[in-house]
Structure formats: C-alpha cells, structure tokens
Structure 1
C-alpha cells in the first residue's frame, strides 16, 4: 500500500464511517429514551458509559489477538457480533440497551484496534499521522448528520425508523468489512512474536514506568472524560438553554472535527517529538469549550454553539497527535499492546464522563458539572507545561 489516500485505505475509511454511524444515532436516542422512561442522570450515564468501559477493558487483549492473528481475521470475526448488537437495540428496553452497549463495546475494542494497527503497520512513517487522522475523521463524520437523524426519528415517534436504520447499518458494515483488505504481510498469524498473556499483564506497569505513555494517557483520560460528559448529557442539557438545540451542537462539534482533521491532517506532528506548546493549545481549547457549556445556561447560544466548535477542535487534534507520537517512541516489540493500553485510557475517560458526571449532575446541575470539566481541562494545561516543557521522547 502506498499513501494514506490510496483506494485500499479509502475502503477502510468507508468501513469506519459505516461502523460508527450507528453510535452517532444511539448517542442521542438513548439518553432521550432513558429520560422518557424515568431514568435519572446516574442511570443514563451508566448505560451510556457501559459501551466504552467494556471497550477499555478489552483493548489490551484486542491488541494481543491482532498481533497474533492479524487485523483482517479479527475484523471479519467481529463484524458479525456487531450486527447482533445493533439488532438487539431494535426490540429491547433500557435493560436490553445496557446489554447491547456492552456487546457493542466488545466489538469496538477489536474493530478500532484492528483498523488502527492495520493502518499504522501498512503506512510509511511520514504518512502515519495522516492515516490515523483520516481514520479518526471518518469515525467522526457520522456525528454531523447522525444527531439530526436521531432527533427526527425521536420526534416522529416511530420505532420502525430506528429499527430499520440499525438493521441497514449492520448489513452494510458487514458487506463492506468482509471485502476490506490490508497489507498482506500483516494478515499472517504472529504467534511467534512477543504477544503472550503474561507480557500483556506486565505491560500494565508501563503506564507508570514509561514516561511518554504515562503523559499521553493522563491527557487522553482527562480530555475523554470531558468528551464523554458532552456526548452523554448535551442532549438533555440543551433543553435548559434558550434556543439550545442538541442536534445542532453535536453537528457543529462533529463538523469541526471532520473539517479540522481533513484540513490539518498534514500539520499534525508525525516526527516522534513532543510539542508542549502545541499540546497546551489543544487543552486550552478543551477548557474553553467546557467553560462555554457551563456558562451557557446564563449566556445562551452565544456561548453554547461556539463551545461546540472549540470542543471539536480539541477532539480533532488531540487523539491523532498523541497516537502518532506514541507509535514512534514506544518499543516496537510491545507497541501494539501498549497502544491498546493508551486507547483504553481514552475509552475509560469517555465512560467516566457518563458514569461519574451523571451523579454530579443529579446532585448539582449540568452547569456545575461542566464547570468541573473546565477545571479538569485547566489542570491538564499545567500538567503539559510541568511535564512537557523540558521533555524529550523517552522510548
């Protein structure tokens, strides 16, 4: 394969777009459905957080399995399970949604690891960050139209529209996924390489011992908590804001992510060096976005919608920047598993955004909850300065 925009990679990006389209709809439908059934913010947060909490637990194992069997074999096995998860949403209630979220979390752990590691291994170093950015871009593109479709389905009050959408996405994802290809040398089993379960368990210690991995994991965990709180509770919080519209907020956020990742894909660092001021700028954007959300209950849409754009900028740049950096500085023999641990921190953060911030919203308010998110973002600006200003990569 040559180039991040060649046809084989474009097919993988299309698969990514289809796979995450279901979640763009579910992120709006499920909180609204939960509220209509009388669930509090804590319960809604647990249901929504179960998805990526399950993904987080399985990320390192996914990295191990992909290292042993290759990304294509793992990908094809998991697509059938994803179809079952999507169909489960069509005929169950709140308890069934919780089970479906967990099943979908299992699928996403393997799907995203297979796609990302396959792209990383197939691309030359100079194109690596562009490939990761394009994957992330296509994972975010459904967020532009998905919320609008979800609100339309909800207002129509016709469950058959939602069921049809989930079944169609399950079928299309399976068809495209089974025809996808990656670099042939990565499709062969890799059982002979370092990928034993004991090493996977020992790799957890690298979260504390490996300085670049620790730095990136802390940043990703904290930022993802803010992203998770936004995804889970904006559909409910928007109703408290004059002229606030959750679908428009999420569309602006996702549109900014897509636009920034496409226009800036070649400017995301892909040199294996740590850029502290660049990272501080990203965390400043995240902090300002959360603060805008907090103050929107008083300031209205003049703060609410600009906050969506700032959130999108932070989300667009943070993940591909940190992932690209780690692919250079982590030991090659354990890179897949360690990247799995890093991505697990992102999953954990998003799930905690629902599970931890739900009780905070119940005990106080959405405004206070987002103020706490802003304070967490501000603490990461100081963290980057303190740990990054003197830093050089430490493989």
Structure 2
C-alpha cells in the first residue's frame, strides 16, 4: 500500500470531510484550552471549570444518536449547517459573557455545534467510502481530527498572547466561516439523503448497541489520563516525566494512525478492534504502576497505539453491520457511547482515586477495558448486514 494510501480515500467529498473535522477540532480545542483560564479570570471556581466540559459533553452525548438518524433521513449538509451557525453564534455570544455562569450556559451551544458538525461529517465519510477501504477512510478522517487537536493548544496560547480572549473568539468565528465554505462546496450528490430513513423515529441503533456497550466499558478510564495522571505524577515528583508523556502520546498517536489507517480493511475490523481494546487495558495497567520516566513513556506509547486504532475501526465495524438505511444512526449511537463512557468514567474513577488512590483508579480503568474486550469479542457471532463491495 502506498504511503498516502488508496486514491479512493481522497475523493473531493472525503477531502471535504477531512477538512471539516480538522477545522472544527482546531476551533473547539482553542476554546477548550482557553475557557478554563477565562472562567478563573472572571472569578470562577474549580467546580465551574469542571462544569464547562460536563455541560458540553452531556449535550453532545444525547444529541449524537439523533443527529446520526437525521443524516440518514436528510443527508449531511442540512444537518451540518445549523451546527456551523451554532458555533459562530456561540463564539460571538462569548464575547459578551461577563460571568462564569453565562459561559457555562453557552457551552450548551458548543455541545450542539460539536454534535451537529462532527457526527454528520463522520457519517458522510463512512457512506462516501468504498467498503473495501472504509477503515482507511475513517482512519484518515480521525487522523485529520488528531492533527487539529495537535494544532489547537499552541494556536490558542498564541492568540491569547497576541490579543486576549476577544481575538481567540474572533478566530473561532473565522473557522466557522471556513466550515461554511467547505460545506457549501460539498458535491451536490451528497446534499440529499444518503439513504432512505427508517420508517419511524429511533433514538438508537440496535445493530450498534453491542459494540457501543463495549466502547463504553473501554472508555471508562479515558478521562483519568487527562484529569488525574498529572496529579498522580506530580505528586510522585515526576513532573519532567509527565511532560514527556504528553509529548510522546500525541506524536505516537498521529504517527500510528497515519501508518495503520488501512490495516483493519485487510485484517478485519473486529479482529483489529479487539486487539486495540486489549492494548488499552495494558496501557491503564501501566499507568496504575508508581510513575517513573520508563513507565510513563511506555504507557504513552501503548495508550497511543490502542487509541490510534480503536475508534476508527469500531466505526467501520458498526457501519458494516448496520442496515443501509440506519448507518448514520449506528455511527451516532457509537459516538454517543464514547461520550457516555467519558462522563461515567470521570465520576467513577474520580471517586476511586479520592477514596483509595490514583493507581487504583487506573486499575479500575484497566478492569473495565478488559471487560470491554470480552463484550466486543462476544459480538463475533453477528454477521454484516451487507457483504463488502470490492474496490473498483
């Protein structure tokens, strides 16, 4: 396979999807990086800082499955457009917000924007790619999002240094305009419904439930990496090693995702996703050890290796197994499951860390990931709804 992959994953439609996810992730990460500082500057508490992300995540969690169903009925473009409007209007409203409570309320708008933009773009990626290269296309889509996440923090701090929060909010509005331009240029043949919608309203896809349940289990430990690992490592005098962890992790995630985008198309989506979830369980066990430079470096490599493969491969798997008319709903269900795991895990792991230890919290994350491996393996009996279409 050429380094850049198959030409079939670089069609105009797919390139537009990659541009959408990169742009929305840069804009979102700029806000997510700076808003905690902004809330504190306005006199906000640590609890209010936490509520910023809880509100946004919960809104997205409940919205994503429904949004996936809307894409099945109406197509991607009509669903993405209101999300872009929500991003722009919320960013403009943030210019006027003067209290922490006002900013927390406006996070509802960002949650709506995130759900309405990213979910349809991922669905469109899946539906516009040939079955034989769907894993590669979705891997490229999430690679573009990872690059956006990498660019976001340095851009955020640069904007803050140059012009403060007003400049940062203005740049996010500019990204919303860029998104509008990209979506307006989507080929006309994907502006309408991607498939005939289901005859009645469905909030979740039953075909995606088993895989989504396994994802919830494996995601329980995810938030602990960013919420509690810094506290754990610094408390053990490993500040320098912690800094290296957060250098190695994103670099290896992007590298591994770029190199292995198409591996699940060749080896099988279920096989690769079970392997990736198993790798995550090992990573959480490494994090449960007393932190040292070696253990943190190994954990960064192992965690990035598992995360690079897991979600894109699961997305390809649920599309493969879903009826054609509800593939958007299936992807929305999977995406909502990710958010659910993060929300539940942040509370559960936090309680364990508070009452026992940080190491015990990571061990709990490893245990749930292992349960996820078992739950995912049990789905092997399910057959794809349609046979893969060979690439032309």
Equivalent of 2:338 in 330, 346, 352 = 346
The 3 A distance-change label for structure 1 pair 378 and 105 is: same
Aligned-pair distance for 1:258?
1.6
Q: Distance in 1 between matches of 2:117 and 2:336?
A: 13
Equivalent of 1:269 in 232, 251, 265 = 265
Q: Distance in 1 between matches of 2:310 and 2:352?
A: 26
More deviation in 356-365 or 31-40? 31-40
The 3 A distance-change label for structure 1 pair 160 and 364 is: farther
The 3 A distance-change label for structure 1 pair 353 and 159 is: farther
Equivalent of 1:306 in 298, 310, 318 = 298
Matching residue of 2:255:
259
Q: Distance in 2 between matches of 1:239 and 1:163?
A: 33
The one-character-per-residue Cα deviations of 1:317-370 (angstroms, maximum 9, x if unpaired) are 111111111211111122222221122111211233334433444444433322
More deviation in 48-57 or 318-327? 48-57
Equivalent of 1:231 in 211, 226, 229 = 226
Aligned-pair distance for 1:46?
4.2
Matching residue of 1:172:
175
Matching residue of 1:112:
118
Equivalent of 2:72 in 45, 60, 67 = 67
Note the 1:190-209 alignment, pairs <5 A.
193-195=196-198, 198-201=200-203, 203=204, 206=206
User: Is contact 1:85-1:103 (8 Å) kept?
Assistant: yes
More deviation in 302-311 or 111-120? 302-311
CA RMSD in angstroms comes to 3.3
Q: Distance in 2 between matches of 1:32 and 1:133?
A: 33
User: Is contact 2:279-2:306 (8 Å) kept?
Assistant: yes
User: Is contact 2:64-2:333 (8 Å) kept?
Assistant: yes
Aligned residues: 375
Q: Gaps spanning 5+ residues in structure 1: where?
A: none
Q: Distance in 2 between matches of 1:176 and 1:248?
A: 34
Q: Distance in 1 between matches of 2:63 and 2:251?
A: 30
The one-character-per-residue Cα deviations of 1:263-304 (angstroms, maximum 9, x if unpaired) are 1112123787632xx334212321222223332xx3323222
Q: Distance in 2 between matches of 1:117 and 1:136?
A: 12
Q: Distance in 2 between matches of 1:246 and 1:100?
A: 33
Give the TM-score normalised by the residue count of structure 1.
Answer: 0.81
The one-character-per-residue Cα deviations of 1:57-115 (angstroms, maximum 9, x if unpaired) are 01122123223332122222211211233345554554334323322111111111221
The 3 A distance-change label for structure 1 pair 220 and 27 is: farther
Note the 1:368-383 alignment, pairs <5 A.
368-383=360-375
Note the 1:116-131 alignment, pairs <5 A.
116-131=122-137
Matching residue of 1:182:
186
Note the 1:1-395 alignment, pairs <5 A.
3-29=8-34, 39=45, 44-89=49-94, 91-148=97-154, 152=157, 160-180=163-183, 181-188=185-192, 193-195=196-198, 198-201=200-203, 203=204, 206=206, 210=207, 213-234=208-229, 236-240=231-235, 241-244=237-240, 248-269=244-265, 274-275=270-271, 278-295=272-289, 298-385=290-377, 387=378, 391-393=381-383, 395=385
Aligned-pair distance for 1:4?
1.3
Q: Gaps spanning 5+ residues in structure 2: where?
A: 1-6, 386-392
User: Is contact 1:71-1:115 (8 Å) kept?
Assistant: yes
